Amino acid sequence: MIDDNDRQALIKYRMEQAFDAIDNVDFLINSDKLTIAVNRIYYGLFYSVTALAVNNGFETSKHSQLIGWFNKEFIATKKTDAIFGKILRNAFQNRTKGDYDAYVTFQKDEVSQMHVEMIDFINEIKRLISI
């Protein structure tokens, strides 16, 4: 169990990681490092959902459990729009394909769209934390 000061510091740290990932993805897209950009898009979302989980007293080291918790606590209860569950699921699937499958390529326009969705998602998580 972490105390409130440590909790707030961890939330701040995870959100900083998420916002840093936005800048990193922009650089990677402009450098045509699209598979790495897809990886960082997912991790930006992951960092922000981790901050939300810490804010709500939920802890896990498993990505699938974190995604399931987010869907159960925020999508199913309509605390946020279902599109954010879809963005997170797609980012996870794309990151998995990019990291583990052979001969996967992503198109610049699709990764740029994922980047826009990433920004929207992280801003929504920031809003949910501040409620």
Transcribe 55-85 into DSSP letters. HTT---S-HHHHHHHHIIIIITTTSS-HHHH
pLDDT, one tens digit per residue, over 20-46 is 999 999 999 999 999 999 999 999 999
pTM of the full predicted structure?
A: 0.95
- Looking at the predicted structure, is the pLDDT value of residue 61 above 90? no
Domain that holds residue 48: 4-130
Q: Which CATH number do you get for residue 107?
A: 1.20.120.330
The domain tally of the chain equals 1
At 5, is the pLDDT very low, low, confident or very high (cuts 50, 70, 90)? confident
- Looking at the predicted structure, is the pLDDT value of residue 49 above 90? yes
pLDDT, one tens digit per residue, over 91-117 is 999 999 999 999 999 999 999 999 999
